[in-house]
């Protein structure tokens, strides 16, 4: 697995925040290249910031921006289940997905609400029922992995 080095944060910058002891934090993101497809990336770290899993996935489908993050969230949920990463806390930098997930409205007719209901079923029994939001800088590792999905197609590194 590639070595991850951490540099001290610049004052006022957003940094990744660890989960509670005993939980894992799973960050995910996507990158779209017109004419090529959609790259997805996820990174799982423990409460000390140690990388446990990094993964990429490349879909040959170019999606609309509203579909991309939701589809990537679904992929990350399924991948976490495949790897038996129980107790994972997911985190996104997609404001629309964050707002739909944390909305008090439990039904809706738009695509995002239908997908969120599907995700809630997939995560049945999860320790976390909130989807935290972070700015792009706090999700940089997942974003970089999504970009690397175009080179490292469908890879999974386990530490």
Domain ranges in the chain are 24-158
How many C-beta atoms lie closer than 10 Å to residue 42's C-beta?
A: 27
pLDDT tens sequence for the chain (159 residues): 545 445 444 445 667 888 889 889 999 999 999 888 999 999 999 999 999 999 999 999 887 777 888 889 889 988 988 999 877 888 988 888 888 777 766 555 555 566 666 666 666 545 456 777 888 888 899 999 999 999 999 999 998
The pTM assigned to this predicted structure is 0.79
User: Distance of CA 128 to CAs 42, 88, 136, Å?
Assistant: 18, 8, 22
CATH superfamily of 24-158: Ribonuclease H-like superfamily/Ribonuclease H (3.30.420.10)
User: In whole angstroms, what is the distance from residue 35 CA to residue 115 CA?
Assistant: 25
| pLDDT attached to residue 59 | 93
Degrees, nearest 5: CA angle 57-113-139: 40
């Amino acid at each position: 697995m590639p070595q991850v080095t951490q540099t001290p944060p610049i004052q006022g910058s957003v940094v990744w925040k660890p989960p509670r002891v005993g939980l894992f934090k799973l960050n995910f993101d996507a990158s779209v290249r017109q004419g090529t497809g959609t790259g997805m990336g996820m990174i799982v770290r423990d409460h000390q910031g140690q990388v446990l899993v990094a993964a990429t996935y490349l879909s040959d489908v170019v999606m609309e921006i509203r579909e991309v993050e939701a589809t990537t969230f679904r992929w990350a949920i399924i991948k976490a289940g495949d790897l038996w990463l129980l107790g994972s806390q997911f985190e996104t930098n997609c404001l629309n997905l964050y707002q739909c997930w944390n909305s008090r409205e439990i039904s809706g007719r738009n695509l995002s609400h239908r997908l969120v209901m599907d995700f809630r079923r997939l995560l049945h029994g999860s320790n976390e029922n909130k989807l935290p939001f972070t700015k792009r800088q706090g999700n940089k590792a997942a974003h970089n992995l999504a970009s690397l999905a175009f080179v490292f197609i469908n890879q999974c590194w386990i530490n």
